[in-house]
Amino acid sequence: MSSSFGSAFRIATWGESHGPAVGVVIDGCPPRIPIAVSEIQAELDRRRPGQSPITTQRREADAVEILSGVHDGLTLGTPIGLMVRNEDNRGGDYEEMRTKFRPSHADYTYQAKFGIRAWQGGGRASARETVGRVAAGVLARKALSSVVGRPIEIVAYVKQVRGLVADVDPSTVSRSDIEANIVRCPDGPRAVEMIAEIDAARKAGDSLGGIVEAVARGVPAGWGEPVFDKLDADLAKAMLSLPAAKGFEIGSGFGGVTLTGTEHNDPFYNGGGRIRTRTNRSGGIQGGISNGEDIVIRVAFKPTATVLHEQDTVDVDGRDTTIKARGRHDPCVLPRAVPIVEAMMALVLADHCLRHRGQCGNGPA
Nearer to a second copy among residue 55 and residue 306 (C-beta): 306
Nearer to a second copy among residue 59 and residue 274 (C-beta): 274
- Under the binding rule (CB under 8 A), the answer on residue 287 touching a second copy is yes
- Under the binding rule (CB under 8 A), the answer on residue 109 touching a second copy is yes
- Under the binding rule (CB under 8 A), the answer on residue 14 touching a second copy is yes
Q: Measured between alpha carbons, how far is 111 from 341 in angstroms, rounded to an integer?
A: 28
Q: Measured between alpha carbons, how far is 250 from 287 in angstroms, rounded to an integer?
A: 12
The span of 150-158, 167-175, 187-195, 240-248 binding a second copy (CB under 8 A) equals 240-248
Q: Closest distance between a second copy and the C-beta of residue 149, in Å?
A: 11
Tell me if 64 sits within 8 A of 23, measured CB to CB: no
Output the DSSP codes for 98-157. GTBPPTTSSHHHHHHHHS----GGGGGGSGGGHHHHHHHHHHHHHHHHHHHSSPPEEEEE
Q: Closest distance between a second copy and the C-beta of residue 329, in Å?
A: 9
Q: Are strands 164-165 and 153-161 parallel, antiparallel or unpaired?
A: antiparallel
Tell me if 149 sits within 8 A of 40, measured CB to CB: no
Among 36, 63, 67, 192, binds a second copy (CB under 8 A): 67
Tell me if 345 sits within 8 A of 152, measured CB to CB: no
Distance set, CA 37 to CA 42, 80, 98, 142, 167 (Å): 9, 12, 37, 13, 35
- Under the binding rule (CB under 8 A), the answer on residue 69 touching a second copy is yes
Q: Cβ atoms within 10 A of the Cβ of 92, count?
A: 8
Q: By CB under 8 A, what part of segment 192-221 binds a second copy?
A: 201, 206-211, 221
Q: Closest distance between a second copy and the C-beta of residue 184, in Å?
A: 16
**End-to-end Cα, the chain, rounded Å:** 34
- Under the binding rule (CB under 8 A), the answer on residue 94 touching a second copy is no
Tell me if 299 sits within 8 A of 242, measured CB to CB: yes
- Under the binding rule (CB under 8 A), the answer on residue 74 touching a second copy is yes
Nearer to a second copy among residue 43 and residue 197 (C-beta): 197
- Under the binding rule (CB under 8 A), the answer on residue 150 touching a second copy is no
Residues near a second copy (CB under 8 A), total: 161
Q: Closest distance between a second copy and the C-beta of residue 126, in Å?
A: 10
- Under the binding rule (CB under 8 A), the answer on residue 16 touching a second copy is yes
Q: By CB under 8 A, what part of segment 111-130 binds a second copy?
A: 111-118, 122-125, 129
Nearer to a second copy among residue 174 and residue 241 (C-beta): 241
Q: Measured between alpha carbons, how far is 244 from 254 in angstroms, rounded to an integer?
A: 19
The span of 42-50, 87-95, 171-179, 295-303 binding a second copy (CB under 8 A) equals 295-303
Instruction: Give residue 139's identity as a one-letter amino acid code.
Output: L
Q: Closest distance between a second copy and the C-beta of residue 151, in Å?
A: 18
Among 71, 203, 324, 326, binds a second copy (CB under 8 A): 71
